[in-house]
Amino acid sequence: MKFINYLEKIAGVDIYALSSFLIFFFFFLIMTLWALRADKKMIAVLSNIPLEENSDNN
């Protein structure tokens, strides 16, 4: 018996798929809007963090 057959027998299981999709969609939308509206200087500083050498990490 496949796993999908177990899910079909649960009443109201479709709400979990819909809610997880909506959470993902709104999170992706918010992150996209933040990235488009973010200050370009801050993005440049954040993108250079992995390339900086810091004596605290050694």
pLDDT digits (tens, 9 = 90+) for 7-36: 777 777 788 889 999 999 999 999 999 989
pLDDT at 56: 64
Residue 10, Cβ neighbours under 10 Å: how many? 9
Among 3-7, 12-16, 44-48, 53-57, where is mean pLDDT lowest? 53-57
The Cα–Cα gap between 40 and 12 comes to 45
Which residue is associated with the tokens 């963090």? 49
Domains of the chain, by residue range, sit at 3-50
pTM: predicted TM-score of the whole model, two decimal places:
0.59
Catalogue the long-range contacts made by 29-34 (C-beta closer than 8 Å, 24 or more residues apart): none
- The torsion of the CA quartet 9, 10, 14, 16, rounded to 10 degrees, works out to -140
Phi then psi dihedrals of residue 22, to 5 deg: -65, -40
